[in-house]
Amino acid sequence: MPLQGIRVVDLTRILSGPFCTQLLADLGAEVIKIEGPRGDPVRHQGEFVNGLSWYFAQFNRNKKSSYSTSTTKDKNTLSKLLRTADVLVENFRPGILLTWVLVNGKKKLKSTINSCQRKGVRNCGALCRPPFI
Each residue's pLDDT tens digit, 95-124: 777 666 555 555 556 667 777 776 665 555
* 118 bridge partner residues: none
**Number of domains into which the chain is organized:** 1
Decide if pLDDT at 57 tops 80. yes
Q: Rounded to two decimals, what is the model's pTM?
A: 0.80
Tell me whether residue 132 is in a domain: no
pLDDT band at 133 (very low <50, low <70, confident <90, very high): very low
Q: What is the pLDDT of residue 66?
A: 85
Cα separation values, 85 from 17, 41, 54, 114, 120, Å:
17, 25, 28, 9, 24
Task: Give the CATH number, domain containing residue 62.
Answer: 3.40.50.10540
Tell me whether residue 127 is in a domain: no
What is the residue range of 101's domain? 7-117
**70 backbone φψ class: left, alpha, beta (φ>0; ψ -120 to 50):** alpha
